[in-house]
Structure 1
Amino acid sequence: MQASTFLWFDGHAEEAADHYTSLVAGSAVLDRQRDADGRVTTVTFELAGQRYIAYNGGPQFTFTGAISLYLGCDTQQEVDTAWAALTEGGKEGPGGSLTDRFGVTWQVVPKALAELLAKADPPAAERILQAVHAMTKIDIQGLIEARDR
């Protein structure tokens, strides 16, 4: 048995899968299924080992922020690159969240956030979290400065 994330699109499954796999190292489109007219219906892809299925199901269902994809970034450069690519045509949100041009919500979070919180005393942790909530794209240096205040 295998669990995968199933994403319902209104005609943009292939474009979304191609966009996402271009952003995340170690990712690839695995399969494209087409209907009798040659139109792509389903795209199976992996993002860094996590399998997703993108389906062109029509307008019946839309994405909401109640579920999001989490992108843990190793560096500020990774945060910046992913943020720029995912917000293009999309919308920034608070605390590292955004909605991309396909309507999918993402959490773009540097791994440094967890590391800083794990080593912080309670007042420093509170300052770090307040800083995160005041940001759109998370800035690691800003988190360090909040911790050290």
Structure 2
Amino acid sequence: MKVAQHLWFEKDMESALRLYTSLIPGSSIESVKALPTETPGGPAGSVKVASFTLGDQRYQGLEAGPLDAFNHSFSIMLECETQDEIDRLWSALGEGGTAEQCGWLRDRWGLSWQILPRRLGELINDPDTARAQRAMGAMLQMVKLDIAGLEAAARG
């Protein structure tokens, strides 16, 4: 059995996939095809399907006009090692999108992303509960997450 996430794009799926795969190491677009027959989504050639990977995750994409917009019930989390990596992804994915609290943003296609430092998990799982609470409190006040700020808060 194979498992893959499925994303429904209203339009411009290929541009989205090119951006996503350019930003995340180990990513690729395997195929993009226009369906040759009429579908409930539109006339022959207007609906596209794609197969792609982001890092180690498999995805299917569909471009078939409006149905249900992306929402927070599905997001893609990117765990980053460095602040430079966070900044790079935040800038590229956020262009034309919307920044949100706690390291979340919506890209210009409406897809939600969580751009988080690996260090955050270590800090909020610290056995010193006061330290963990300070880190969590700092994270809740941030939009784009800042590793140095999280570590400073954890130290008190």
- Give the TM-score, by structure 1 length: 0.94
Q: What is the CA–CA distance in structure 2 between the aligned matches of 1:102 and 1:32, rounded to whole Å?
A: 18
1:120: Cα distance to partner? 4.8
Equivalent in 80, 104, 112 of residue 111 of structure 2:
104
Partner of 1:8: 8
Q: Which moved more, 1:6-15 or 1:139-148?
A: 6-15
Deviations 1:35-68 (A, max 9, x none): 3365560121101120111110211121111221
Equivalent in 41, 51, 75 of residue 44 of structure 1:
51
Question: How many residues get paired?
Answer: 149
Q: Which amino acid aligns with 2:50?
A: V
Partner of 1:33: 33
1:118: Cα distance to partner? 3.0
Equivalent in 135, 139, 145 of residue 128 of structure 1:
135
Q: Which amino acid aligns with 1:3?
A: V
Q: What is the CA–CA distance in structure 2 between the aligned matches of 1:26 and 1:60, rounded to whole Å?
A: 30
Q: Which amino acid aligns with 1:66?
A: S
CA contact (8 A) 1:14 1:40 kept: no
Q: Which amino acid aligns with 2:59?
A: Y
Q: Which amino acid aligns with 1:135?
A: M
Q: Which amino acid aligns with 2:4?
A: S
Deviations 1:100-139 (A, max 9, x none): 1000001100101112233351111111001001001100
CA contact (8 A) 1:27 1:48 kept: yes
Partner of 2:75: 68
Percent identity, please.
38
Q: Does residue 145 in structure 1 map to residue 149 in structure 2?
A: no
1:16: Cα distance to partner? 1.0
Partner of 1:94: 101
Q: What is the CA–CA distance in structure 2 between the aligned matches of 1:73 and 1:129, rounded to whole Å?
A: 17
Q: Secondary structure at the match of 2:113?
A: strand
CA contact (8 A) 2:35 2:49 kept: no
Which has the higher Rg, Structure 1 or Structure 2? 2
Q: Which moved more, 1:110-119 or 1:127-136?
A: 110-119
Q: What is the CA–CA distance in structure 2 between the aligned matches of 1:38 and 1:19, rounded to whole Å?
A: 23
Partner of 2:40: none
Q: Secondary structure at the match of 2:74?
A: coil
Q: Which amino acid aligns with 1:17?
A: L
